Chain A
Amino acid sequence: MGKRVVMTGNETVAEAVRQINPDVIAAYPITPSTAVVEYISQYIADGLIDTEFVTAESEHSALSACIGAAVGGGRVVNATSGQGLALMWEMLYIASAMRLPIILAVINRALSGPINIHGDHSDTMGARDCGWIQLYSEDCQEVYDNILQAVRISEHIDVRIPVIVALDGFITSHAIETLETEGDEDVRRFIGDYIPLNSILDIKNIVTYGAIDFQDYYFEHKRHQLEGLHKSAEVIKSVGKEFGKTFGREYGFFEGYRLDDAEYAIVVMNSAGGTVKTVIDDLRDKGRKVGLLKLRIFRPFPAIGIAEALKTKKVVAVLDRTSSAGAQGGPLFNEIRSALYNEPTRPKAVNYIYGLGGKDLTAEHIRGVYEALERIDKSRKIDRLVDYLNLRE
């Protein structure tokens, strides 16, 4: 039986990790994710878990240590933010190419410069093409549920791909919320025992990891790697269903909130979902047909399901919490618009950049977006394809 608890987002990550009891965690703390490894080191000191805690001299080393532990057959967890993820860059690609099931909680933080410690998605969005699965979380409950599911997804024999579980810095990581956690035994039964594959410590079956690969095999290996990411879609779906059966909270690629009969839709990820829902309830009371598509899985991008859900809408606004310098709007916008392109009927789509460096996104801003969508629908004209919310002009 689950119990209702009160926790910050960081404590939630740590609680899920405590229940997973991984073999190794490598840590180089960085704001706003610092509390995650603080809690975990406390759990280890208190003897609650027997995880090996590796203190590294940088995030590059922390992820390298995780990779080493994973090729040695360990179940491995790590947490970081912003610049920390940026410093892991080189090793992110290596972890996914080696098909190592590592779980990395990323507490989203803006990338320097200018230096900023607050939440936006420039860190994980920058890492969107490094071959990791990316799960996004609106609140503490989703953080907890995503981390437990991430273990099953990444360790699945058809997948074996590392997973980033993202949550908004400070908004989710430091705010206290109620959530339901499950019993230790139930969680352990759900995630199951870890079955290492091709461990370098298995001296009866010696293997080499990380050998050089030229024109003859590099392309083939990259294609092979993609297959794991493609296959993960089915696994994400079935694990989400099984999680629902086991714990009563089912998950898919995205959540549609009052979306089915909506004419105007907003697409967001992470904590902004809650703000949008509040505004939707208000506007629905006034008879306006507005809805939300809150994306949970950004990689692999669930294009088909999204096109299905949005193709009959009149106008769609995609909200990106990152600026993709020089691109036609943010990465989420580009994916969504591209997913809709081959549909015979499709909505008009606009992009809003919001919340960079932790700038607030309020209900008023969301109401303004829905009004703009109605204006675009009436005039059939898009004045600004990419616009900014809450920016002083």
Chain B
Amino acid sequence: MKTWKDLPLGGIIKDVGNTKDYITGTWRTERPVFLEDNCTQCFMCCMVCPDSAVIIKDEKVIGFNYNHCKGCGICAVECISKPKAIEMEKEEQF
């Protein structure tokens, strides 16, 4: 960690976009678990996730970025498939 003397003027960020290196997933008390077989690939979860934590690969939802997912559960509530393709589980199980 830098000391106060190493900081740039005005608290600016020079390596912009460094949010992705800032791990906030530790704040989570519950995590979304992806049940691939139930997923219709509607992308609703990607649109509603406030942390851009839904991972899409080759145009398909494949799971969640647990470095940044804060476990808000919005994706699980909004998931349109029945049965749901996202379930929230207590973090201590992992």
Chain A positions near chain B (C-beta within 8 angstroms): 97-100, 160, 197-198, 205-211, 213, 216-217, 219-221, 223-225, 227-228
The answer on a CB contact under 8 Å between B7 and A211 is no
- Taking CB atoms, residues of chain A closer than 8 Å to B7 are 217, 220-221, 224
- Taking CB atoms, residues of chain A closer than 8 Å to B1 are 216
The answer on a CB contact under 8 Å between B9 and A198 is yes
B3 at interface (Cβ–Cβ under 8 A)? yes
Distance of A91 from chain B, by nearest CB (Å) = 14
The CA-CA distance from A225 to B5 in the complex, in Å, is 10
- Taking CB atoms, residues of chain A closer than 8 Å to B9 are 99, 160, 197-198, 224, 228
Distance of A94 from chain B, by nearest CB (Å) = 10
The answer on a CB contact under 8 Å between B10 and A100 is yes
- Taking CB atoms, residues of chain A closer than 8 Å to B3 are 220
- Taking CB atoms, residues of chain B closer than 8 Å to A228 are 9
B2 at interface (Cβ–Cβ under 8 A)? yes
Distance of A225 from chain B, by nearest CB (Å) = 8
A contact patch SS: loop
Distance of B10 from chain A, by nearest CB (Å) = 4
- Taking CB atoms, residues of chain A closer than 8 Å to B16 are 206-208
The CA-CA distance from A298 to B13 in the complex, in Å, is 31
The answer on a CB contact under 8 Å between B11 and A97 is yes
Query: Can you report 6 residue pairs joining A to B where beta carbons are below 8 Å apart?
Result: A98-B11, A160-B9, A217-B7, A217-B11, A220-B3, A224-B11
The CA-CA distance from A215 to B81 in the complex, in Å, is 40
- Taking CB atoms, residues of chain A closer than 8 Å to B2 are 217, 220
**Total inter-chain residue pairs, C-beta < 8 Å:** 52
* Residue among A198, A217, A219, A223 making CB contact with B10, cutoff 8 Å: A198
The answer on a CB contact under 8 Å between B10 and A209 is yes
Residue of A160, A210, A211 contacting most chain B CB atoms (<10 Å): A211
- Taking CB atoms, residues of chain A closer than 8 Å to B94 are none
The CA-CA distance from A98 to B12 in the complex, in Å, is 8
- Taking CB atoms, residues of chain A closer than 8 Å to B14 are 205, 207
The CA-CA distance from A216 to B8 in the complex, in Å, is 15
The proximity string for B residues 1-29 relative to A, scoring 1 for CB distances below 8 Å and 0 otherwise, is 11111011111111010000000000000
Nearest B-chain residue to A95, judged by Cβ: B10
The CA-CA distance from A217 to B9 in the complex, in Å, is 13
The answer on a CB contact under 8 Å between B4 and A220 is yes
Distance of B30 from chain A, by nearest CB (Å) = 22
Distance of B82 from chain A, by nearest CB (Å) = 38
The CA-CA distance from A208 to B1 in the complex, in Å, is 19
* Interchain residue pairs A-B with the least CB separation, the first 7: A99-B10, A220-B4, A208-B13, A223-B4, A98-B10, A221-B11, A207-B12
- Taking CB atoms, residues of chain A closer than 8 Å to B10 are 97-100, 160, 198, 209
- Taking CB atoms, residues of chain B closer than 8 Å to A210 are 11
Nearest B-chain residue to A216, judged by Cβ: B1
- Taking CB atoms, residues of chain B closer than 8 Å to A227 are 4
The CA-CA distance from A197 to B10 in the complex, in Å, is 10
The answer on a CB contact under 8 Å between B12 and A213 is no
Distance of B50 from chain A, by nearest CB (Å) = 14
Distance of A93 from chain B, by nearest CB (Å) = 12
- Taking CB atoms, residues of chain A closer than 8 Å to B11 are 97-98, 209-211, 213, 217, 221, 224-225
- Taking CB atoms, residues of chain B closer than 8 Å to A100 are 10
The answer on a CB contact under 8 Å between A209 and B4 is no
Distance of A73 from chain B, by nearest CB (Å) = 13
The CA-CA distance from A68 to B20 in the complex, in Å, is 26
Nearest B-chain residue to A205, judged by Cβ: B14
- Taking CB atoms, residues of chain A closer than 8 Å to B5 are 224
- Taking CB atoms, residues of chain A closer than 8 Å to B13 are 207-208, 211
The CA-CA distance from A209 to B14 in the complex, in Å, is 9
The answer on a CB contact under 8 Å between A224 and B12 is no
- Taking CB atoms, residues of chain B closer than 8 Å to A220 are 2-4, 7
Beyond A98-B10, A198-B9, A207-B12, 14 extra complex contacts between A and B, CB < 8 Å: A99-B10, A197-B9, A207-B13, A207-B14, A208-B12, A209-B10, A213-B11, A219-B4, A220-B4, A220-B7, A221-B4, A223-B4, A224-B7, A227-B4
The CA-CA distance from A224 to B5 in the complex, in Å, is 7
Distance of B22 from chain A, by nearest CB (Å) = 9
Nearest A-chain residue to B1, judged by Cβ: A216
The CA-CA distance from A126 to B78 in the complex, in Å, is 48
Residue of B1, B11, B12 contacting most chain A CB atoms (<10 Å): B11
